[in-house]
Amino acid sequence: MNMKINNILLLCFFLLLLWTSCEDSGDKYYLLGLEESDLIVTTDKVVLTQDNSSDIVLSLAWTKGTLSVSNNKVSAPDVYDTSLEISSTKEFSSLVEVRGESLSIAFTGKELNAIAKELGVIPDVATPIYFRLKGSIGNNIPAVYSVIKEVSLVSYEIDMSRGLILDKEMNDTGLFLFSENEDGIYRGFMGATAWANFYMQEGNGTTWGNDGVDGDAFLLSSEDDPEKRWNLWFPSVGGSYYVTVDTQKKLWSALNLPEINIAGDLSAQMEFDRSSNSWSYSFTADEAKEITVSLSGVGKLFDYSTGDQDENLAISTPFGFQKEDNELIFAEEPSNFTLAIPEVGEWTLILDLSNPLELTCSLVAGTIEPEVVNSEVYLPGIDDLLIGGWKFESKLSLFNEDDLSYAGVVNVDSEFGYGIYLEKDNWDDFYKLDSGDQLDGKLLKGAEDNIPAPAKGTYFINVSLKSLKYSVLALTEKVYVSGLNDSWDFNTTLEKTQNDGIYSGVISITKPSEYGFQIHIDDSWNNYFGGVEGKLYYTGDNLKEDQTLDLGEYILTVDFISESYEITAITK
């Protein structure tokens, strides 16, 4: 607003100056440049689908109108302003105005579809959409417009009932929350580890994360700027959550369900399986019959008022499940419902929360054993020139069970490449190369070709057996300590020692940090280790020894290969 006022004042001053000069000289000067700008459109037909929603589907470019004076000895100020107007009528009776920062603008399918919805365009019907460029130099001076360009547009239905859950890299996870009234309030159940990250994307393409300007947990932002919009994160407690994302109030909350109790003809506590987002209880039936049960518990509500750090501050919230018109719903208290056991034997009661459109509670024959996820994988061949053959010594540790992701630092000196093996001394279950090179690629279970190894050295390796990807990063001469004394930067470093994978240096504790600190192997903010009681964990909880140690200087030594660290006081 201040810029626009300044432009108008500058123009008025310039016109006054011209008028005064003209009066003195008797000459007439004319302000030129308000003629139409050329507008170019890349196509006159666009068909939008979910498949091309992320692609550039339409681009427009134009020439810049400039002000000049009829006397070339006098220059005019640059206060010419342009914007693009879009309408579903030639008269532009209703329109959407878009400002481009340069002399062109490009629309993705998602962006153009959102504009079509705002204009009231009927989905799946070819509809003429009109574009024109508006040029102006002030509110009190009539604007000029370019020639109108017409584009035939077929839009698609925007489903505002689903909020898609994206991972921290903004990839679709296949999960979603549900907005029953399509009013921007989304709800559903999620299984999460402590501090798990995610974003939520609405059907119109708006992506919600945490407010990065304020920085407090549970505040929402849709700013398309990584400095202003961070990822959302769960609190310090992992497990089953009932999540509410309210885009109207720009707040979200997470109700942790620490346990679900069965009452009635069965009396037990159910077990939660995060990978399937379900609860279960197995039992033996001694006769065929109908049973009456209820499901309830007391949750811990985390929201903006409680913060994300201390579960003791979470709000105690009773909950239950009710049956209404044969539909299972989440409520403040439980109701009884019946289930039929058709025959004697082993049965499992399963509460499936994975689909927010259809919660189910059912009996399944047999006992369901939880899927075992290996805590480590092994890399035979990665170090065969160091240890004399393919052995199960170098390994990676599990850090994300949902994605089956493993990471760690290993010494590399390989003759023929390596494989990723699921169990120690088990040569039958492994992943090798599908495609890629020494630094990144795709995996294939049971493949014949070894994964190519990089040159001799110390490397950080990250693999996902769910997305079937691997990446390799060479360690440098130093690593970084960030968060000490509440300074989140890369100014404190640890230097590489004579022993591969071990770094050491002096750290100074001048005050207890609020959140603890991390060890970063590079300055990308993505590759860091947390730790507790001398054990390092990739992307784990922050180290917090500085909150209890005396102020002063210490030697911090980290051994990435053994996944350990040590803090020693400097005696003077």
Q: List, for residues 470-492, the tens digit of each pLDDT value.
A: 999 999 999 999 999 999 999 99
Q: Report d(CA 503, CA 48) in Å as an integer.
A: 53
Residue bearing the bigger pLDDT, 249 or 22? 249
**And the tokens for 39?**
């507008």
Secondary structure of 334-384 in the HEC alphabet? CCCEEEEECCCEEEEEEEECCCCCCEEEEEEECCCCCCCCCCEEECCCCCH
Percent of the chain at pLDDT > 90 equals 72
Arithmetic mean of pLDDT, 287-304:
96
pLDDT for res 138: 60
- Lowest average pLDDT, out of 146-150, 285-289, 568-572, goes to 568-572
- Is a pLDDT exceeding 60 seen at residue 292? yes
Could you identify the residue written with the tokens 């030594």? Answer: 557
Q: What is the pLDDT of residues 210-252, one digit of tens each?
A: 999 888 899 999 998 988 999 999 998 889 999 999 999 999 9
| Averaged pLDDT for residues 257-282 | 95
Per-residue pLDDT, averaged over 187-198, amounts to: 92
Lowest mean pLDDT among 324-338, 367-381, 544-558: 367-381
Beta strands at 229-230 and 207-211: parallel, antiparallel or unpaired: antiparallel
User: Which pLDDT does position 121 carry in this prediction?
Assistant: 94
Is 12 strand, coil or helix?
helix
The pLDDT score that the predictor gives to residue 134 is 86
pLDDT band at 72 (very low <50, low <70, confident <90, very high): low
Mean pLDDT of the 497-522 span? 95
Tell me if residue 11 falls in helix, strand or coil. Answer: helix
- Domains of the chain, CATH where assigned: 2-154 (2.60.40), 159-370 (no CATH), 376-474 (2.60.40.3620), 478-569 (2.60.40.3610)
Residue type for position 343: E
Say if residues 431 and 449 touch (Cβ distance below 8 Å): no
Q: Please give the Cα distance from 329 to 324 (Å, whole number).
A: 7
Specify the DSSP class assigned to residue 219: B
**Lowest mean pLDDT: which of 34-43, 329-338, 361-370, 372-381?**
34-43
Query: Is residue 81 over pLDDT 90?
Result: no
pLDDT band at 403 (very low <50, low <70, confident <90, very high): confident
Mean pLDDT calculated for residue range 425-433: 93
Phi-psi region of 203 (alpha: psi -120 to 50; beta: other; left: phi over 0): alpha
pLDDT reading at 309 higher than 70: yes
Report how far apart the first and last C-alpha atoms of the chain are (Å, whole number).
61
| Res 154 pLDDT > 50 | yes
Report which of 90, 68, 63 is spatially closest to residue 78, judged by C-alpha positions. Answer: 68
**pLDDT higher than threshold 90 for residue 34:** no
Q: What is the mean pLDDT of the chain?
A: 89
Q: What is the pLDDT of residue 284?
A: 95
pTM: 0.64
Q: How far apart are CA 270 and CA 291, in angstroms?
A: 17
- From the CA atom positions of the chain, what is the Rg in Å? 31
**Which pLDDT band, with edges at 50, 70 and 90, does 137 fall under?**
low
Dihedral angle sign, alpha carbons of residues 213, 217, 222, 225 = positive
- Give pLDDT, residue 521: 97
Residues, the chain: 572
Between residues 82 and 112, the one the model is more confident about = 112
Give me the mean pLDDT over the 114-129 stretch.
94
Q: How many CB atoms lie within 10 A of CB 230?
A: 19
Which residue would you say has higher pLDDT here, 451 or 326? 451
| Tokens 């049965």, located at residue | 347
Rounded Cα–Cα distance for residues 243 and 179 (Å): 12
pLDDT at 50 > cutoff 90: no
Q: What are 444-457's pLDDT values in tens digits? A: 999 999 999 999 99
